[in-house]
Amino acid sequence: MAAIGKMMINSSSFLCKVFFKSIVAFIIAAMLFACKNDMEKISSFTIDDTLPSESAKDIEMIYSDSGRVMIKLLTPVLNRYLTEDPYVEFPEGLHLYFYDSLMNVKSELTANYGINWENKKTMEVKDDVVITNHEKNEVLNTEHVIWDQRIKKIYSDVFVKRTTPDGVLYGKGFDADESLKLWKLRNVSGEFMFDEDEK
């Protein structure tokens, strides 16, 4: 009898251990499944937030005022994001042409990256920004330019190099009108060329 009693106790202990291990395995599996679902949800939210709502290639956009074409924008890639603060991104750069009343190109702007904040009506261009004024035969080089379309002003707060027929000017930022016809450098320094025969 003693031996049988001992066997019964061992069997019961064995069943308890198996039952306990099964419960633990079930809880762990449930936790992993829940974590997997949560991670999938997080991943889907992240992907949705980083993917553009609209995307297009080889785009030409025209900005006009009272029926007159003022600016043409060319870009290889355009991505539009419909977030709380919607914006359009130009990840592969852009080229802007500014026209006079006779549809002649009076100035151009190129950059390797651009972003346009739709609600703020502000465009920022970065990375090797080049502005060419054909009327004055001047070129401006910088790394960051802001175009505030509400006040019709283009400006920068970083280092600027302005090359004119008379020499090279340097500045810490500049201000210009929207047509890029009038420029004003800040904190100017530079090198000027002159003709010694004119002395």
CATH label, 54-196, candidates 3.30.70.1430, 3.40.50.150, 3.40.50.720, 2.60.450.10: 2.60.450.10
pLDDT score of 52: 86
DSSP-derived secondary structure letter, 198: G
**Exposed, middle or buried: residue 134 (CB in 10 Å: 0-12, 13-18, 19+)?**
middle
pLDDT score of 23: 53
pLDDT score of 147: 92
E-assigned strands of 149-188? Answer: 153-164, 167-177, 183-185
The predicted-structure confidence for 43-94, as pLDDT tens digits, reads as follows 444 445 578 889 999 999 998 888 888 889 999 999 999 999 999 999 999 9
pLDDT score of 7: 37
| Domain extent listing, the chain | 1-51, 54-196
**Dist CA 6 CA 11 (whole Å):** 9
2-11, 32-41, 137-146, 165-174: which range is least confident on average? 2-11
Residue corresponding to tokens 């291990």:
21
**Dist CA 105 CA 179 (whole Å):** 11
The predicted-structure confidence for 172-195, as pLDDT tens digits, reads as follows 999 988 877 777 889 888 765 545
